[in-house]
Amino acid sequence: MQSVCQRVGPCSSCLKRQLNGFLGLIKWQRRLVPACARTIYSETGKWEKNYGLETRKRVENWWFPRIKDQFCRISETDKSRPKFYVLSMFPYPSGKLHMGHVRVYTISDAVARFQKMRGMQVINPMGWDAFGLPAENAAVEHGLHPASWTQSNIQHMRKQFDALGLSFTWEREVTTCLPEYYKWTQYLFLKLFEAGIAYQKEALVNWDPVDQTVLANEQVDDNGCSWRSGAKVEQKYLKQWFIKTTAYAKAMFDALSDLPEWYGIKEMQANWIGDCIGCSLDFLLKVNGKVTEEKLAAYTYTPEAIYGASHLYILPSHRLLHGNSSLKEVFQREFIPGKDSLTSVTAVNLLTNQEIPVVISAKTNFANFLDAKIGIPSTSAEDAAVAKNLGISLTEVIETLPNGLEKVINSAEITGMTRQEALKAITQQAKKKRIGGDLTSDKLRDWLISRQRYWGTPIPIIHCQTCGTVPVPYEDLPVVLPNVTTFTGKGASPLESAPEWVNCSCPRCKAAARREVDTMDTFVDSAWYYLRYTDPHNTDRPFNSDLADYWMPVDLYIGGKEHAVMHLFYARFFSHFCHDLKMTKHKEPFHKLLVQGLIKNQTFRLTTTGQCLKREEVDLTGTEPVHLKTGEKLHVSWEKMSKSKYNGIDPEEIVKEYGIDTLRLYILFAAPPEQDILWDAKTDAMPGVQRWQTRLWALVTKLIEARTSGTMPNPELLNKKEKAEARKIWEQKNLVISEVTEYFTKDHLFNAAISRLMSLTNVLHQAPRPLVLHSTEFEDALASLCIMVAPMAPHIASEMWKGLAHMQNKLCIHHHWDVDVLHQSWPKVDPEYLQPSDVVEMSVLINNKACGKVFVPQQAARNFEEVHELVLQSELGVKHLQGRAIKKAFLSPRTALINFLVQE
């Protein structure tokens, strides 16, 4: 993919163009022109007085390419500087941006610009989660090759992103369907395979008996039928690839406590993982004393009591009774429905070498997702009852001492240990032998990653009749997808139709072999992309560890709540795994998580059929919306925007009508990020942010007019009252800087930040003309306001700054007026403002109603008697309290408030 710089020309030309523009500015005549001229300062050097529709268009047209150019400059990572890695979840290239995209990427863009202004080295990368089923469906329905369809969609969405003026670090772009990316997805798979964490076993899939193909869950409708053939979907056992995420369950559960608050997502992660108190252990199955090729993993809540195991317990629905197992006939023959069935099959514990019988349970379900568990009568009354009923011998392995301490007995080398010591010893031994032992819960299942699809990362495995399952050598990566041209949606995986690709030689014995024809779940591609962004062009390894250690963890990760469990869990798993391989220093990939709400719009449905109507089919003129044709009353609800519901809003249309800055401000102002936005452009926040931009522009106009009036500004000409008002502006400026900075860094409450900036705007509008003309505080507050607006509305802020920068007779010398607003340093609170003042402004309440404020000395502000007396002696006290019976008074030093309760 081309970077932004490659598309717009080298950065040196960007710089040259800007330099020429700046030299031209010097020659411009700096004067106000009538509003009807509709020019902007950056074009002509003439300040347009009013910010109307035409001016807004000119401002955005002028600044749009310049702001984009500023963010395309590529520089080497400077590891001596503080960094900030902001990441928004990359999109699937569906071909069209929706308002949900606009929201998440506007947030990341504002944060990236803010952190850059704070002096951070920032990356805000973007890429494409580009494999997936929709591309294959397009191939079936429209005859488009998935690669062509995907590439076309990416190009279109890139243009849409550009139209929104987003500051992505495009030179770090990744596309998961390109071999230079999925080579390293395959590399990580091989590392998982080597570690025994990637493995193959039989599992149930959705099978379409008509089309003779495997269906993804989303291809099965609510009635359990195939979306294409309409046939009733069957469940069928096929060999599938899994990643043993349960091996990291305990580590990932424990690591949650070290993460900051994640808006309730940590609780969702913890619930998904479950309480990791037990583990699975591997058994080898025998029938009639003969060892079979079948292995079975079974769960126990009490691994420390494993020497007391009496039987292995499986459900009637277990794969051994239904799949392609060599023991299937034995189990089916010996199973008596509704009864615990003792079979002739035995299981040899690969850790203790004990041999115990396999029992098929009378139950249809165990706790959560278990289908096989170890029966240990010493720790389970239920297991003891089963063993007793079936006549299975049992051994007591837990002894309780008089002091209440429980010890392990009759358990070989762990005899005499406490239960906790024995638990640790058993699990460590099992893990060392790779036969289980990883503490996990009874609800977490390993990750099934096989997909019988074409458009996905090929699994780098070769099947040889002699050598078995053989990994593709690292030097042969990537295993590139063949160019399959025919897609029917029927039959086996499309990869089967490429014999020249499937048939290969075994890397070990060189005999004829076959490639794995399953591809990987797309969640695998997105489970490590944040690491690739740190070093996206590396051709020797997935990423350079030094660069990953510098940039990681992601400082702020932004995305939808729908990804708060699975994607987040898989991404955390890969990060923990890479840490164990010593590829990364950090275990956890994400520091702060910001989960944004949906953007919803009204859906109009016919009450009779539930059919959704287009807005043009609805009559909105009455008190209630009705169907335009029939007059039928409609069911109206707020729902996530969707094409099928006819309630979508096209971002391009909104930008055309309102402009980029207005849309950005609306998105940030309409609601806190984690809450849903109910879209209603006419009566909601849109007019509010439009008016605010007009008022901001008017402030700049006010100052420019004052400074070009012919009167030289001189702060000494302000009288005492005006100086006091200037001091209040200074205090308000510092307060707003403090609050807005906190909103950007801690809570990410952009709506509150905009609200505080609006309040500062109001304060400045109330300033009288002498203050505007002569006050350093007014000029500094307006400049600071302009800088703080810039990350959220960069176009109007850039033009306002340009007008201020070329204004004559400036009083503030600490701002870098010669560079654009997005390159200014974020305002800091003045040190003097942080000093405790000599006096405290004490709020006075009478019968819980505010009636004014009184200044009291700092040293007296916490003393009830002194404050009480000073208020009574003040002008306010004389006016409101003199001669009245005071029943009681309460002082709150923390909030500087005193409340008098008086007789009415």
Task: State both tokens at 422.
Answer: 């024995």
- Answer yes or no: are the C-beta atoms of 760 and 789 closer than 8 Å: no
Give the separation between CA 170 and CA 276, rounded to whole angstroms: 41
Helix H, strand E, coil C: the string for 507-567 is CCCCCEEEECCCEECHHHHCCCHHHHCCCCCCCCCCCCHHHHHHHCCEEEEEEEHHHCCHH
User: Sorting pLDDT into bands at 50, 70 and 90, what band is 8?
Assistant: very low
User: Sorting pLDDT into bands at 50, 70 and 90, what band is 30?
Assistant: very low
pLDDT one-digit tens code per residue, 53-109: 999 999 999 999 888 766 655 567 788 889 999 999 999 998 888 888 999 999 999
- What pLDDT does 425 receive? 97
Which of 26-30, 239-243, 595-599, 625-629 has the largest mean confidence? Answer: 239-243
- What pLDDT does 456 receive? 94
Rounded to 5 degrees, what are φ and ψ at 85?
A: -110, 105
| Residue 31 reports pLDDT greater than 50 | no
| Residue 220 DSSP class | B
Q: Helix, strand, coil % (nearest 5) of the chain?
A: 40, 20, 35
Contacts of 384-393 with CB under 8 Å at 24 or more apart are 386/311, 386/313, 386/340, 386/359, 387/310, 387/311, 389/340, 390/311, 390/340, 390/342, 390/359, 392/310, 392/311, 392/342, 392/356, 392/357, 393/310
pLDDT one-digit tens code per residue, 589-607: 999 999 988 888 889 998 8
Say which amino acid occupies 167. Answer: S
Give the separation between CA 221 and CA 865, rounded to whole angstroms: 75
Give the separation between CA 792 and CA 407, rounded to whole angstroms: 63
Helix H, strand E, coil C: the string for 113-167 is HHHHHCCCEEECCCEECCCCHHHHHHHHHHCCCHHHHHHHHHHHHHHHHHHCCCC
| Residue 788 reports pLDDT greater than 70 | yes
Q: How far is CA 219 from CA 214, 224, 495, 743, in A?
A: 10, 9, 20, 43
User: Sorting pLDDT into bands at 50, 70 and 90, what band is 882?
Assistant: confident
Task: State both tokens at 654.
Answer: 């909104």
Task: State both tokens at 266.
Answer: 């940590």
- What pLDDT does 837 receive? 67
Give the separation between CA 353 and CA 282, rounded to whole angstroms: 11
Give the separation between CA 534 and CA 548, rounded to whole angstroms: 6
> How many Cβ atoms from other residues are within 10 Å of residue 132's Cβ?
23
Task: State both tokens at 467.
Answer: 């050598």
User: Sorting pLDDT into bands at 50, 70 and 90, what band is 39?
Assistant: low
| Residue 855 reports pLDDT greater than 50 | yes
For the segment 747-759, the average pLDDT, to the nearest whole number, is 94
Say which amino acid occupies 600. Answer: K
Contacts of 732 (CB under 8 A, 6+ apart): 759, 760, 763, 781
- What pLDDT does 69 receive? 65
- Answer yes or no: are the C-beta atoms of 479 and 515 closer than 8 Å: yes
- Residue that is written with structure tokens 């049992």 in the block: 394
Rounded to 5 degrees, what are φ and ψ at 507?
A: -65, -20
Contacts of 608 (CB under 8 A, 6+ apart): 632
Say which amino acid occupies 332. Answer: Q
- Answer yes or no: are the C-beta atoms of 693 and 661 closer than 8 Å: yes
Q: SS3 of 636, please?
A: strand
| Residue 520 reports pLDDT greater than 50 | yes
Picking from 49-63, 141-155, 607-621, 783-797, which range would have the lowest pLDDT averaged per residue?
Answer: 607-621
- What pLDDT does 873 receive? 83
pLDDT one-digit tens code per residue, 391-441: 999 999 999 999 999 999 999 999 999 999 999 999 999 999 999 999 999
Determine the straight-line distance between the first and last CA of the chain, rounded to whole angstroms.
Answer: 77
Give the separation between CA 530 and CA 108, rounded to whole angstroms: 15
- Answer yes or no: are the C-beta atoms of 362 and 315 closer than 8 Å: no
Say which amino acid occupies 223. Answer: N
Torsion angle, alpha carbons of 772, 778, 782, 788, to 10: -170
- What pLDDT does 739 receive? 93
Give the separation between CA 401 and CA 420, rounded to whole angstroms: 15
| Residue 509 reports pLDDT greater than 80 | yes
pLDDT one-digit tens code per residue, 312-328: 999 999 999 988 889 99
Query: In sequence order, what are the beta bridge partners of 290?
Result: 287
| Residue 187 reports pLDDT greater than 90 | yes
Task: State both tokens at 187.
Answer: 């590399």
- Residue that is written with structure tokens 């869950």 in the block: 217
- Residue that is written with structure tokens 């607003």 in the block: 821
| Residue 745 DSSP class | I
- Residue that is written with structure tokens 């402004």 in the block: 841
Percent share of the chain, pLDDT over 70: 94
Say which amino acid occupies 11. Answer: C
| Residue 207 reports pLDDT greater than 80 | yes
Q: SS3 of 588, please?
A: coil
Burial class of residue 639, CB neighbours in 10 A (0-12, 13-18, 19+):
middle
- Answer yes or no: are the C-beta atoms of 613 and 605 closer than 8 Å: yes
- Answer yes or no: are the C-beta atoms of 396 and 410 closer than 8 Å: yes
- What pLDDT does 755 receive? 95
For the segment 439-448, the average pLDDT, to the nearest whole number, is 93
- What pLDDT does 86 receive? 96
> How many Cβ atoms from other residues are within 10 Å of residue 585's Cβ?
13
pTM for the whole thing? 0.84
| Residue 242 reports pLDDT greater than 90 | yes
Length in residues, the chain: 904
Q: Beta strands 341-349 and 278-287: pairing type? A: antiparallel
Cis, bond preceding 831 (omega within 30 deg of 0) = no
User: Sorting pLDDT into bands at 50, 70 and 90, what band is 805?
Assistant: very high
Rounded to 5 degrees, what are φ and ψ at 858?
A: -55, -45
CA 505 to chain centre: 43
- What pLDDT does 819 receive? 93
Percent share of the chain, pLDDT over 90: 63
> How many Cβ atoms from other residues are within 10 Å of residue 4's Cβ?
22
Interior CA angle at 366 toward 361 and 372, to 5°? 65
- Residue that is written with structure tokens 């504002």 in the block: 110
| Residue 14 reports pLDDT greater than 80 | no
Task: State both tokens at 385.
Answer: 């009852």
Task: State both tokens at 800.
Answer: 């306002």
Give the separation between CA 670 and CA 165, rounded to whole angstroms: 20
Rg (CA), the chain: 35
Q: Which of 512, 626, 485 is closest to 144 using CA atoms?
A: 485
- What pLDDT does 18 receive? 34
CA 140 to chain centre: 32
Q: Which residues of 277-299 are buried (b: 16+ CB within 10 A; e: fewer)?
A: ebbbbbbbbbbeeeeeebebbbb
- What pLDDT does 71 receive? 62
